[in-house]
Amino acid sequence: MEDHHQHQGQDPDGSSPSNGSTERSPEPVRSRWIPKPEQILILESIFNSGMVNPPKEETVRIRKLLEKFGSVGDANVFYWFQNRRSRSRRRQRQLQASLEQRTNNNINNDPMASLSHHQLRGEIQYGISCSVPATAPPLAYGASPNNFLMGSSSSSSCGHHLITDNDVHHSTACVDDQFFPVSGQMGFPEIEQSSGVTSALGGGPSETSNLHFQSVFSTRFQIAFKKILQ
């Protein structure tokens, strides 16, 4: 029921320097979004208010809000949160790792020390507040008290959003132009052989002929194939 994301590459009103005619040059020359200070404030405020992974819907709202201060797309917002989360976590990890030398310092020969890595998701800020300094409007965002310390065993998984774009799901459309005439045969693609760099290893001649078939095509594909050929 949801989707998400987007992205965009826009060029701010005046953020991007000269450039002038990027046109259709073979080299895209992507310029990236450069958030305005006000936008950063808003984003940080939201993030620090606890909404670290806004669902699609919120992302759109945030984007609209940010647009008051400069051109920006949903994807930019999405990326921002993604990177923010990621780097926040990383810093946390590093920091903790450095603090953890203490463990090595004292108990160095503990054979069990290497497990348990996965979870431990206390992570960072939650009720930071931050009080939105300047221009940011309501931005309250319910201050969602929500989740931390939810999953205990494997992975945390919480929000979810997505890529989204034009959602279709409308009706099914029915076959129109009639593609696929069905004519048996299909030379299998063959797989690696590629550049040969990969090993070659012992493999030798290795027939692996039809072995390829199943490794290249998904189960459903094969089923679909049969189904269509009847």
Partner DNA sequence: GCAAATTAATGATTTATTCAAG
Partner DNA sequence: CTTGAATAAATCATTAATTTGC
Question: Using CB under 8 A, which residues numbered 3 to 22 contact a copy of itself?
Answer: 3-11, 13
For 184: left if phi > 0, alpha if psi spans -120 to 50, otherwise beta; the answer is beta
Q: Which residues, other chains included, contact 203 with Cβ-Cβ below 8 Å and sequence gap of 6+? A: none
Interaction between residue 63 and DNA (CB under 7 A) = no
Does the footprint of DNA cover residue 84 (CB under 7 A)? yes
Find which of a copy of itself, DNA, none residue 61 binds, CB within 5 to 8 Å per kind: none
Residues 145-184, mask of contacts with DNA (x by CB under 7 A): ------x--xxxxxxxxxx---------------------
Tell me if 52 sits within 8 A of 29, measured CB to CB.
no
Closest CA to 37 of 60, 70, 82: 70
What is the Cβ-side half-sphere exposure of residue 28, based on CA atoms within 13 angstroms?
A: 6
* φ/ψ of residue 33, rounded to 5: -65, 135
What lies within 8 Å, CB to CB, of 19 at 6+ separation is: 11, 29, 31
Indicate whether 67 belongs to the interface with a copy of itself (CB under 8 A).
Answer: yes
Sole binder of a copy of itself in the list 111, 180, 209, 210 (CB under 8 A): 180
Beta carbon of residue 225, minimum distance to DNA (angstroms, whole number): 11
Site for DNA in 182-221 (CB under 7 A): 185, 188-189, 191-193, 195, 218-221
Q: DSSP label at 76?
A: H
Residues that bind DNA (CB under 7 A): 2-4, 7-9, 12, 15-17, 29-35, 40, 53, 75-76, 79-80, 82-87, 89-90, 118, 151, 154-163, 185, 188-189, 191-193, 195, 218-221, 223
